[in-house]
Amino acid sequence: MESTHLLNTSKKRVKIHPHTVTAKYATQAPYSPQPGVHAHFPQPGDEGYDDAPSFEDFGSFLEETSDKKQLTESRKWRLTVFGSKEKDTANKLQTLGGAEGSEGGARAAKVSGKGVGEQLASFGEASVSASRLTWVGLLGAALAHGCLIVLTRLASERFRLGPLFLLLVRSIVQLVSVAVPLHRGENPLGPQGYRLRLLCYGVAYSLSLCCAYASLTFVSPGDGTTTWRLATTALSAILAFLLLEERLGLADGITIAAGLCGLGLVLLPTADESNSDAQTDPVKFWRGAFGWSLSALAGLWMALALVGYRSLKERVGVGTALFTVSWTGCVLAPVSLFLLQEGLSWPMSAEAWGLVLGLAACSVAAFLGMTHALTRLHPSLVSASQSLEVPVAMLLHLAVLPLAPTAPEVVGNVMVILSVGWLVAIKLLPARGGGRRQREEYEEILDSPIK
């Protein structure tokens, strides 16, 4: 449908057509430029000056409507598997709104430059505080994971409680987390339109736990946990890049690689293991190979779960995620018990029940710390920080079960501690300096005569 708009003035009549633009002047003679006569552009204070679009608006319009940008965004959408169209739309609207309000914001900032500096300072301090709380939660989660390793080993050796049975009891106890989304008025199954992805996240997380706990039947708890953590950290970096297009920085990559090398040293076999008859006995060899395979598979499922929740961080709360992991664990743990033919042995004493409840409390604390950190950090960084569970478990083993560690284990654990400590340092220490530099650069722009 064609539409025509006429703009009449005393000097000229402009006819705007969807396909052509023609200008007809009211003078009888054809218009010809005269020497000394220049075109007049509206000046501040003239009529119609405020209605004329500025060059900044025209530039932003070209940028937003250019074919190059649309082609780039379309390609980026196809590569991002777990991306959200609503998120992209919201970012685009936010960009347009920021372009429209940039002029007013610049004027306000010019009037009160000191106030803007104070606001930037407060924002920087709030960001540093939130980052510190996030890393404190991550380190607490690593401590809880280390306690989980020791408690699982104690329950297996002293009370004959199978690892999968402990996982089932833990999942049942965690069902009380349904009260969190109900208290907030949210659907425990997740928001509509994201329930399938939330279900896949819960299944991947529970499968990871089932594989990890099942591997403890075939390999030692220390080896199984170390392999699980090593595979999770490495695969989460790869999957986050492939599925979310999230890359690690150079310093982060080097630090994580150093931590992975430390975990590799911990996994080196001891002299007794090298001289054992497991190399000649095919049954023991294949049992060990199956246990190692389960640990690596657990790392793959956990990496998928971390990346999956990273894509749902803005839609699914931590309480809803915990309930999803709990009820999927209640479904998958009995299936794993049946497949591996692991018998049920109920705790028969108050001490055993206290140990089981302590295990459930540590698992909840570890889950909350990790899942909250996923809303702010890269999945591989979250998993790498949890590598601290290996030296924590070694220290607790020395206190509970006095077993002297080997030299490679000591060196590997020291490398893990140093890598996690350096990772925390590079994330928190430059925060104040970076905020100060950004604030000084912004104030320099405000004071500059060219804006």
**Contact between residue 98 and residue 394 where contact means Cβ atoms under 8 Å apart:** no
Residue ranges in the chain modelled with pLDDT below 70? 1-130, 271-280, 430-451
Pull the structure tokens for residue 179: 């009260």
pLDDT of residue 349: 86
Given its phi and psi angles, is residue 110 left (phi above 0), alpha (psi -120 to 50 degrees) or beta? alpha
Per-residue CA distances from 333 to 25, 170, 225, 302 (Å):
84, 10, 18, 16
Q: What contacts 321, CB < 8 A, 6 or more positions away?
A: 198, 201, 202, 309, 312, 371
* Amino acid (1-letter code) at residue 280: T
pLDDT of residue 410: 92
pTM of the model: 0.70
Nearest 5°: the CA angle 36, 42, 43 is: 95
pLDDT of residue 302: 96
pLDDT of residue 95: 47
Among residues 420, 414, 379, which one has the least CA distance to residue 394? 414
**Contact between residue 306 and residue 374 where contact means Cβ atoms under 8 Å apart:** yes
pLDDT of residue 279: 58
- The tokens 């699980």 sit on which residue? 228
